[in-house]
Amino acid sequence: MNWFQRVRYRSRRIAKEEAVTGLWTKCLGCETMLPKNELKDNLFVCTVCGYHHRIPARQWIKLLLDPNTFEEHDVRMISCDPLEFVDEKPYKIRLDESRAKAQERDAVITGYGDIDGRKIAISIMNFEFMGGSMGSVVGEKIARLTENATRDRRHLVIVATSGGARMQEGILSLMQMAKTVGAISKHKDSGLLSISILTDPTTGGTTASFATATNLIIAEPGALIAFAGPRVIEQTIRQKLPQGFQRSEFLLGHGQLDMVVKRNEMRKTLIRIFKFVD
């Protein structure tokens, strides 16, 4: 489960370097020092090597939807602590901390919006909130959105990033896989289109459920997409993993993705796909 640690390490690293370098930041791909404004203007894609840095969940709204068309759903839904789970910290406290840190109530944002004038449903996961993990709230919000989209005849776009099922909600988290897949299956059977956009990282129960149950699957370049994370595999087989293993391009080569699409071409690509189905 390397990604948990790696991600923590990475976000610490970013924070630290920002403090030191002020207006500059180091690319996580090629380590070139880049002016922050330039990186931001380029959608956090490195202008030198093309590395796609993670972006805040709400930025996807701007990136994909027509301006001011997003209408958020289920904003009041929050996680409780059904198992009264305590590890090194009670789950309740982790939730409070995550809410404060991410400024969100849970790990997914759902709602309706327009893409090039076409009315769609969209769900965007948020890695900042407990590693984008799926518990009852994430499962319920995605299932509701999907059912509403089926009822209202809207295509569905899912922007995924997740460490998998949320351990703190135990078996309930696992069952969200069945719930979300069931809802998406009905959506597909209604002749509506669903598209997943897998971003770095998407792993575990999320990859093994709604994120790959859609009609089409797109990934951002270089994203880690997996069932079992690299560290778990390394520990199991006790050997080093091949270069590029579980990255978007690797998965494309193994037939698991429809396409790998750069961030600045994502909206255009969605519009092209909608044109095919409507």
Partner 1 sequence: MSDKEKLLDFEKPILELETRIQELRSAAREGGVESLFKEISELEVKLVEAQRELTERLTAWQRTQLARHALRPGAFDLATRIFDDILELHGDRSFGDDAAINVSMANLKGREVLLLGHIKGRETNERVKHNFGMAHPEGYRKVIRLIEFAESFKKPVISLIDTPGAYPGIGAEERGQAWVIADAIEKFMKLEVPTISVVVGEGGSGGALAVGVADRVYMLENAIYSVISPEGCASILFRDAIRAPEAAAAMKITARHAESLGVIDGIIEEPPGGAHRDWDDTAKRLSERLISSLEEISKMNTNERLAKRYEKFRKIGIFHEAES
Contact set with partner 1 (CB under 8 A): 1, 4, 74, 76-80, 82-83, 85-88, 105, 135-137, 139-140, 143, 165-179, 181-186, 204-205, 207-213, 225-228, 232-233, 236-237, 241-242, 245-246, 254-256
Which residue has tokens 């969209």?
122
Cβ neighbors of 182 (< 8 A, separation 6 or more) are: 143
Q: Which is nearer to partner 1, 233 or 271 (CB)?
A: 233
Taking the C-alpha atoms of residue 138 and residue 184, their distance in angstroms, rounded to an integer, is 14
Q: Which is nearer to partner 1, 25 or 207 (CB)?
A: 207
143, with CB counted inside 10 A (0-12, 13-18, 19+), is buried
* Minimum distance of partner 1 from residue 37's CB (angstroms): 37
- Identify any residues that bridge with 217 across adjacent strands, giving them in sequence order: 196
The one of Zn ion, partner 1, none whose footprint includes residue 46, by CB under 5 to 8 A per kind, is: Zn ion
Contact criterion met (CB below 8 Å) for 188 and 147 = no
* Minimum distance of partner 1 from residue 234's CB (angstroms): 10
Alpha helices in 109-265 (DSSP H): 136-151, 170-189, 204-207, 230-237, 248-253
* Minimum distance of partner 1 from residue 1's CB (angstroms): 5
The one of Zn ion, partner 1, none whose footprint includes residue 86, by CB under 5 to 8 A per kind, is: partner 1
The one of Zn ion, partner 1, none whose footprint includes residue 183, by CB under 5 to 8 A per kind, is: partner 1
The one of partner 1, Zn ion, none whose footprint includes residue 170, by CB under 5 to 8 A per kind, is: partner 1
Which residue has tokens 């209202």?
152
Q: Which is nearer to Zn ion, 27 or 64 (CB)?
A: 27
Taking the C-alpha atoms of residue 187 and residue 182, their distance in angstroms, rounded to an integer, is 9
* Minimum distance of partner 1 from residue 183's CB (angstroms): 7
Q: Spell out the long-range contacts of 46-49 with Cβ–Cβ below 8 A and sequence spacing 24 or more.
A: none
The one of partner 1, Zn ion, none whose footprint includes residue 48, by CB under 5 to 8 A per kind, is: Zn ion
* Minimum distance of partner 1 from residue 130's CB (angstroms): 11
**Where does this chain bind Zn ion (CB under 5 A)?**
27, 29-30, 46, 48-49, 51
* Minimum distance of partner 1 from residue 242's CB (angstroms): 7
269, with CB counted inside 10 A (0-12, 13-18, 19+), is middle
- Identify any residues that bridge with 219 across adjacent strands, giving them in sequence order: 198, 260
Contact criterion met (CB below 8 Å) for 104 and 126 = yes
